[in-house]
Structure 1
Amino acid sequence: MSFGLEFKNDSNVVTVDSEFTRLVVLAKGTYSPTQESGLGSVTSFPRTITSQEPPLVFVRPAGSSGIAGLCLMRVIGSPGAWTGFYVRAYNENTLQPNGSYFACGFAATALADFGMRIWDGSSKLLFDSGTPYARFTRSFQNWTYIKSDNTSQGVTRSYYRVNFDFPVGEYMLINTFSMHMLADDGLNRALYCWWDFSGGNLYAITVGPSNPIVFFMPAVFAKL
């Protein structure tokens, strides 16, 4: 920048800048079963998130054994008024949806009663000392194809795996697992996620009538 404020940490990484907004934590808390006989979970943010784009929601399922299967995530609300999110367990054989989350966006919120705020030249709030930053920790897309089988409806289901150590304090971006994927014939593939605590694996599972064995979507992780 030619002028303004720039703050770097001990690793020489810019953490505050008067021209650009970083990924800011706008809400955090826990999620738990609320409906569908314990399979579905609706979580309300502690305050409405007013960004135009849906917030990025990072989750960490609770538990140290078994399989936490998450799917069908969606952010609830509309541009400028996002109020919460929904997520569902994979089925009755996986753990119920329990865990912690944080939701973020590239826009600060005026929360601090005292401290520091920074606006850009167009009066957009870039920094508020009451809204902490989230830190991307890693991402990977080196999934290994394991096998395919059929659902009870006869639809092809494919499994992809990576070794995963579930480090303390790390959360996974769940928005990407709310999207359907296209296959080579243009038909949709549904997308699911399994956290296999006992086996030390993270699985991506796709279900669709035409289901190729390649899978490249990255899994993205962050910490508060």
Structure 2
Amino acid sequence: MTFGFYAKNDDSFVQIDSEKPRLCMVHKGNYAAPSGFVASVVFPAPITTQEPPCIFIRPSTTSATELYRYLNISGSPGNWTGFSIEAANVTYSPSGKWFAAVFASPGNSQFGLRLFDGGTNLVYDSGAPAVIFTKASNSWVYVGQVHLEIANAYYYRTPVAASLAEDEYLMLNPFSRSMPAHAVRASSCGIRMQYSGGYLEMYLVNVAAWTDIGRVAAVFAKLSV
């Protein structure tokens, strides 16, 4: 930056920058499907960013065999109203905790520090909970073919660096779109957290043999407060 304000921590990482908004939580809560395998969430108020929010989830540990697919963010640029997620395993209804985050600071605090950029846009609010990335992996190991309740699938696994803490969440957006697959344009994708084993599973459904799915990122984070 050429002028303005920024602050660094003891490791020389920039924590606050008046020209670059940090990723902040806007809404949070619990999700659960009342019946069936689709859980829908309506935000308490629309999210007004042009880009869709980042959706983080922590599936319930009491039903670890949930297989998530088809994240859908409702609304349009400047008016994001909620999201829905679908479980591919029809035996279990999806449930857990979630939060939505954007690269902007909502002005909710009644006291503290706020910074604005040259266009009078709020870029920092000391009362806005920041999203802290805790671990990430883009290395997937092909395990083999399995049979799910819905269809045959090819199964991959990525380890979590350490057991997830109670306040750690998985970013769902990278898995919300279809994955490239052999002999077809795209394949339905499902993911599942295995808390006991300490890894994230991914399944590509109804495709020909395909052992390399590329470097899709599994990102985990927690909130600063």
Mapped contact 1:24–1:134 kept (Cα < 8 A): yes
Per-residue CA distance 1:126-165 (angstroms, 9 max, x = gap): 0122322101112112211111145678x65100012332
Structure 2 Cα separation of the partners of residues 197 and 90 of structure 1 = 18
Structure 2 Cα separation of the partners of residues 152 and 197 of structure 1 = 21
Q: 1:2 Cα shift? A: 3.0
Q: Report whether the alignment pairs 1:183 with 2:189.
A: no
Write the mapping of 1:41-190 to structure 2, written as runs, cut at 5 A.
41-64=39-62, 66-93=64-91, 95-149=92-146, 156-164=152-160, 165-190=163-188
Residue matched to 2:192: 194
RMSD: 2.1
Structure 1 Cα separation of the partners of residues 4 and 118 of structure 2 = 10
Mapped contact 1:76–1:85 kept (Cα < 8 A): yes
Residue matched to 2:222: 223
- Any stretches of 5+ residues in structure 1 without a counterpart? none
DSSP-derived class of the 2:175 partner: helix
Structure 2 Cα separation of the partners of residues 182 and 65 of structure 1 = 29
Per-residue CA distance 1:88-126 (angstroms, 9 max, x = gap): 122123x42111111111112222223222111122210
Structure 1 Cα separation of the partners of residues 61 and 169 of structure 2 = 13
Change (3 A) 1:84 1:156: same
Q: 1:167 Cα shift? A: 2.7
Q: 1:184 Cα shift? A: 4.0
DSSP-derived class of the 2:61 partner: coil
DSSP-derived class of the 1:176 partner: helix
Structure 1 Cα separation of the partners of residues 64 and 125 of structure 2 = 40
Per-residue CA distance 1:57-111 (angstroms, 9 max, x = gap): 0111121564232111111111111111101122123x42111111111112222
Letter of the structure 2 residue corresponding to residue 55 of structure 1: P
Mapped contact 1:143–1:160 kept (Cα < 8 A): yes
TM-score by structure 2 length?
0.88
Structure 2 Cα separation of the partners of residues 65 and 41 of structure 1 = 14
Mapped contact 1:67–1:198 kept (Cα < 8 A): no
Identify the range of structure 1 (12-21 vs 77-86) with the bigger mean alpha-carbon deviation.
12-21
- Any stretches of 5+ residues in structure 2 without a counterpart? none
Change (3 A) 1:38 1:184: closer
Residue matched to 1:30: 30
Pairs aligned (count):
220
Letter of the structure 2 residue corresponding to residue 70 of structure 1: Y
Structure 1 Cα separation of the partners of residues 50 and 137 of structure 2 = 28
Mapped contact 2:89–2:149 kept (Cα < 8 A): no
Write the mapping of 1:3-42 to structure 2, written as runs, cut at 5 A.
3-34=3-34, 37-42=35-40
Letter of the structure 2 residue corresponding to residue 219 of structure 1: A
